[in-house]
Structure 1
Amino acid sequence: MASHGFYSKSQASCIGVALLFCTSLVIPSFAEPERLEHPAKGDGSLSCLVVGDWGRRGFYNQSHVAFQMGKIGEKLDIDFVVSTGDNFYDNGLTGLNDQAFEESFTKIYTATSLQKQWYSVLGNHDYRGDVEAQVHPALRMVDSRWLCLRSFILNAEIAGFFFVDTTPFVNDYFTDMDHTYDWRGVTPRKAYLDSLLKDLETALSGSTERWKIVVGHHAIKSAGYHGDTKELNDLLLPMLKAYNVDMYVNGHDHCLEHISSLDSPIQYLTSGAGSKAWRGDLNQHYEEDDLRFFYDGQGFMSVQLTKNDAGITFYNAFGKILHEWKALKELHSAV
């Protein structure tokens, strides 16, 4: 055995390997977000539906919302569907063979117009299950529409969609003693969030798309039950303002909601009413920004874009239009 602080060559080699292994555990290298492309229509326009907090095997009016999504999707000739997370209740998927995938997704969204690509982020309820299963490519063999990743970038020609994994931002989930979360691929948390924010900033700063739309599960601004997410206001919002993001789209609060920022062009849009909603959810004292619309029932949202204008429409579970908003890109103002 070596003494006086010196080691044999074989011992030094073993220690070097051990240090390398420990370093790789402490300072992991997180993969850059995947970059995907989806073409716009021949005339350069783009349309999609947005739904969140839906996966309940058709219950709580999920089937009614899905039926109306099919009708509106056909009318608008949508290009794809965006899911804002909490895709499978109450505790995500148990694995690749969980029947909840087909019973809450494939067998519910059956309309011809909805047989388009679905781009999905994870919600906090999804993190209570097997996250690796929900983001696994094998699910695309079960239903080719399904595409769910932690964070990714979608180039849709006139619009860039930036999907952000917001659950790891929220401090409370890491001290929640009542539920178990699947943090594989997320720890160490600080390194994961630093990497995510760095990659997002790179993507936003390099974006040349006409419209910039960021999608996450948790709200930045909300007058609903959960309200604003402090961690996103602190860490994410300054970046969205700095790079002139047009819309932040989320779920989490089980309602439909439109808030306009008072100090930037950002529109905060909540579409988390795909199934179970919370009656009487509105925080009557919400005055931080301009609350344009709030609905505490089930429904979904559509987004229609051209090079120069945007249109947002909210629908209830009967397909009735509840709220519309339009904006001209040049003016950065609503009409």
Structure 2
Amino acid sequence: MSLTLIITFIALLGSLYVFCPSSAELPWFEHPAKPDGSLSFLVVGDWGRRGAYNQTKVAHQMGIVGEKLKIDFIISTGDNFYDDGLTGVDDAAFFESFVNIYTAPSLAKQWYNVLGNHDYRGDVEAQLSPVLRDIDSRWLCLRSFIVNAEIAEFIFVDTTPFVNKYFTDPEDHVYDWSGIQPRKSYLANLLKQDVDSALKESTAKWKIVVGHHTIKSSGHHGNTHELNLQLLPILQVIYYLIIF
């Protein structure tokens, strides 16, 4: 069995999914691999630009790559709509940044999306709403969830609420924290009951954790201190359990 991972900051779309119950608290979806057991997908983040900043050109190339690789689905790591998320389920940005941009046949697959900090500046519930799935069935966005793709299991983690500066120094931005209060309890449950439990219970060959903020990075934003303190130790424990 093989796993093709194309990480490139662009965008793409996915395939059929089925909601399944799980012993973990996180919502759980099944996404079958190819008949030969292989899996191909694209990963994109920071893409919702209403076609500007070369988004349409990148989408075109994504369609070419998606066809060549016969991708199974697309993962979005957040900041789906700039600059300030969506204003509601009827926001034209959903069409101008997503529906009308990623039109290549190879991109007619399932999108699995998490939220970024820019998404939290808008109406978070709009992105999570099934109304958007009714508009475009490729769209699936939740705060945190699991996708079981047979040889790989993907744990999607809502990283924005971990970052202190969005609460203490919001830089004149307004964030929609209505779904994650009280914050301390939300993060504790996410880490211990959800992510830790999901990783320990997973029997997949590959366990891939997806989130918006980097844990370690040499880029402009650097490391995310809060994730290094809270999320990384959980990932390291699972890694050592697998290796040893």
TM-score by length of 1: 0.64
Residue 162 of structure 1 corresponds to 155
Residue 221 of structure 1 corresponds to 216
Larger Rg: 1 or 2?
1
Residue 178 of structure 1 corresponds to 172
Q: Secondary structure at the match of 2:96?
A: helix
**AA partner of residue 217 (structure 2):** S
Q: How does 1:313-328 map to 2 (within 5 A)?
A: none
Distance, in Å, in 1 between the alignment partners of 2:181 and 2:31 is 31
**AA partner of residue 145 (structure 2):** F
Residue in structure 2 matching 1:202, options 194, 197, 206: 197
**AA partner of residue 148 (structure 2):** N
Matched, 1:138 2:131: yes
Residue 75 of structure 1 corresponds to 68
**CA offsets 1:119-144 (integer angstroms, 9 cap, x no match):** 00000000000000101111001110
Residue in structure 2 matching 1:189, options 172, 179, 183: 183
Residue 276 of structure 1 corresponds to none
Q: Which runs of structure 1 show a deviation greater than 4 angstroms over 4 or more consecutive aligned residues?
A: none
Residue 11 of structure 2 corresponds to none
Query: 1:33 offset after TM fit, Å?
Result: 1.6
Matched, 1:121 2:105: no
Distance, in Å, in 2 between the alignment partners of 1:233 and 1:114 is 34
**Whose helix fraction is larger, Structure 1's or Structure 2's?**
2
**AA partner of residue 181 (structure 1):** Y
Distance, in Å, in 2 between the alignment partners of 1:239 and 1:219 is 15
Residue in structure 1 matching 2:45, options 23, 47, 52: 52
**CA offsets 1:26-56 (integer angstroms, 9 cap, x no match):** xxxxx93201110000000000001110001
**Whose strand fraction is larger, Structure 1's or Structure 2's?**
1
**AA partner of residue 196 (structure 2):** E
Unaligned runs of 5+ in 1: 1-30, 245-263, 265-329
Q: Secondary structure at the match of 2:112?
A: strand
Distance, in Å, in 1 between the alignment partners of 2:184 and 2:161 is 9
Residue 54 of structure 2 corresponds to 61
Distance, in Å, in 2 between the alignment partners of 1:185 and 1:90 is 20
Residue 282 of structure 1 corresponds to none
Give the root-mean-square deviation of aligned CA atoms. 1.8
Distance, in Å, in 2 between the alignment partners of 1:95 and 1:170 is 24
Distance, in Å, in 1 between the alignment partners of 2:142 and 2:157 is 9
TM-score by length of 2: 0.87
Unaligned runs of 5+ in 2: 1-23
Distance, in Å, in 2 between the alignment partners of 1:130 and 1:180 is 10
Aligned length: 219
**AA partner of residue 62 (structure 1):** Q
Query: 1:177 offset after TM fit, Å?
Result: 4.3
Matched, 1:238 2:233: yes
Q: Secondary structure at the match of 1:243?
A: helix
Matched, 1:150 2:143: yes
Q: Secondary structure at the match of 1:231?
A: helix
**CA offsets 1:137-172 (integer angstroms, 9 cap, x no match):** 110011100000000000000000000000000000
Q: How does 1:255-334 map to 2 (within 5 A)?
A: none
